[in-house]
Amino acid sequence: MDEFDFLDDEEEEVVEGEDGLKLAEIYKLTMKLLRLLEDLKSVELKETASLMLIRELVGEDKVLLGLASKMLQDLSLGFEREDYVI
């Protein structure tokens, strides 16, 4: 398997080529953003930054808005391992 192939454990689907490269870069940047968020001392800044990221990711997409709302609701109720595949 090429080093840039991405294996999704649940579906066992390999994403190759340009999409695989993009997905690998998104993952790398996401992990960096999460580390930066964790390093923030202020809880208010963490919340604000998290909400800004969600707003930028969701944009005007109604499906993503519904998915994000459902995920936040589940997290607030303590359901952490739900399946959010659309």
Give tens-digit pLDDT for 35-63: 999 999 999 999 999 889 999 999 999 99
CA distances in angstroms from 3 to 42, 51, 65, 71, listed in the order given: 37, 33, 33, 31
pLDDT greater than 70 at residue 80: yes
| Residue 3 confidence class, pLDDT cut points 50, 70, 90 | very low
The end-to-end CA distance of the chain, in Å, is 27
Contacts of 15 (CB under 8 A, 6+ apart): 5, 6, 8, 23
**φ, ψ at 18 (rounded to 5°):** -60, -40
Q: Does this model's pTM top 0.75? A: no
Percent of the chain whose predicted confidence (pLDDT) is above 70: 77
Contact call for residues 64 and 57 (beta carbons, < 8 A): yes
Q: What average pLDDT does this structure show over 55-79?
A: 89
